[in-house]
Amino acid sequence: MSIEYRVLKKASDGAVILPRARWCADSWCHFKGLQWRRGLPADEGLLFVYDSESVMNTSIHMLNVFFSIAVVWLDASGVVVDKKLAKPWRLAYVPQKPAQYFIEANVDLLERVEIGDVIQFNEVAAS
């Protein structure tokens, strides 16, 4: 199974907010996420993909995650509906509104996106 990455950009100006987001659409990737990793390259993250918008399906935990991350939730249209700093070993983070996608990346991602931004992720990144 090959790993696919996407380029994440702001729709408003085309600015790249994350050059390499792993397309995470299967149950194993959903389960594993960033658990047991010790860090993440500055230009990488995960883009979790679900079939429909939900608060429950897009809630996360930080058990077995050893570093703080940015979490950015997107609705079905790619609109940022929430963003949070997620700290290690916390039990749950829940989006304010239903989301169909969420991004997990380094903390500085929180500085590059705002609630209401539209994020595009249709461009496949080089492997």
Q: Quick one: three-class SS letters along the chain?
A: CCCCEEEEEECCCCCEEEEEEEEECCHHHHHHCCCCCCCCCCCEEEEEEEEEEECCCCCECCCCCCCCEEEEEECCCCEEEEEEEECCCCCCECCCCCEEEEEEECHHHHHCCCCCCEEEEEEECCC
% of the chain surpassing 90 pLDDT? 81
Model pTM score: 0.94
% of the chain surpassing 70 pLDDT? 98
pLDDT for position 11: 96
pLDDT for position 92: 95
